[in-house]
A and B are shown apart, each in its own frame.
Chain A
């Protein structure tokens, strides 16, 4: 996936080309606030149905952009994780971007997928898909919950249950709108 494939999504969130994850997150929050129920700036311009439709496309656009920004950029012989810019976990809201949160924690710990896979017995592809929130590629909820829980525990996240719950909620949301 290239940024040019996501022109509509960038436009929808009023993002400039080359936006960072943090900017994407902020733009997403802004747009969600604009089309939230009872939003002063939009309720008398758009009816309920349009407003909800807007929220759905905003959600999709956000997910696609985040997926794109998190996709590993591979070069021969290099460990993809090493190329990701370091993200601060404090900047990321676990409730809004649980996948991104897991990714940031992993980067912070400096542990490799290989190592984590050996410990958790979860395949590397699954871990990557979980971090990138590639919902369409993830297994059924019953397995997914276990994966996220194990992964979060392996990363030393205190409230692994909570992040698994949030993750599943987002997964179900995606299922409902897809």
Chain B
């Protein structure tokens, strides 16, 4: 990254900002020279408030209209007159859209009411009279939820006690949640009936007081159905009209929104400049490889009137520079894993290439099954096909693809295809070891990977701090050495290495230990123990891997134990699906954890500022990015 200063005549500042926006490579910052006058915040304040007001207006309209999957039509320039015109159109469209939505909502509410009434009519069925009731006789429509004849008898008993013979209770068939019942009695008895009903906990339901066309209660259902269907048709017509408006004006509204954001970004950029009476100064960061192109562009547009100078490296510090992760294509998807943490500081080590090697490897070692690997590969291919280039989903699909490849490879290493099914059906044999039986070799492999991973972390830590903090670099190196010595001593003790290694390793440890305390301080022993804990933490690779294979074997065993072979096979397949889901989730979480906690801790220096070049806002993604700044 190069720090650059751009100078030019004061009256051409706006033009220069336009050129920089076209170039799209400069991360602008405020100039560092104190003698300069910063551009006042009030510059273009009026234009900014007009733009923000228009943006708010357009956004409110886009919220009211269902604009989806349309390509924005971005205008080349947006004058004050255009802005006014767009604002008026947006206002008009929003009112229309809100009116359509409100009407559709009201009609839908009425249709839902009819749904409810029709449901009640269905439940009350034959209990409803053909004609409205006689004068002076009132009906109560009840739902007896408790079910059974006991509750009906109790209610009848209670009513008899209160009213004697002066009522008629008709109870329907049990349907769904309870029985519908209709109680008829004189209006004078209403008070007593209400008391009985509330005492018995019986729910009274409301039926429409006025029926379409003055029909009888039972005969009204057809009219209600017809009315409901009319209402739903109207709702659909209103929705179609709203969609028509969205299709007609959506691309223009989306385009003008981007154009407004583009213009706002330019105003923000103008405010990062500083001025003297006659000149302007802009400062920023440009990737080294873009520098010549930018210089050429300025020369073409301004000739001798403006100049771009590179500020010498000794005049700025690395922590001030923004960070852009830049990796070869094959490693680039794994930047998504690195980006889940705050970015590394400028000039420190980007761990992405190491993540690209170790993360899928750990994943493959844990899941290690040919069939699971192929399934994951198919899912990754599908996701790759469905995702846009440069999207986060595309990165996820590529990381999943790498994990799937390692899973297949380790599936052959362990001889696993849906657990031991490959061995049983087509005699698949492990290439190196069967992890179901060889627990100790598997544990050894996991811990050995831990030693290697942690060692690489320490070495990277030593390399990254060797220039600025040589003492820390020595400390990192000593930790790395001690991890190796502990490993050698242990391997010699259990006779995996020749016994002759044991004494020299222990002596070297005894010598290195006080040096470590001198270099790193009295807390060094604590960190050393925690480092050994870090190494042992890699045992989780073996623990999860063993759990995964045992689950797969259990799934296969189910085939022979549950009833018919077909039921057993289905049950086994279901179990494999569960195991596959767990097998994808577990290694991902634990692989990330091993990287973030055990590995990055040794060298990673977070806190870098994201490189955000000042450029045109031409898509929603860029708009979001520009708003973040």
Q: Is chain B a partner of chain A in the same complex?
A: no
Residues of A within 8 A of B (CB): none
Residues of B within 8 A of A (CB): none
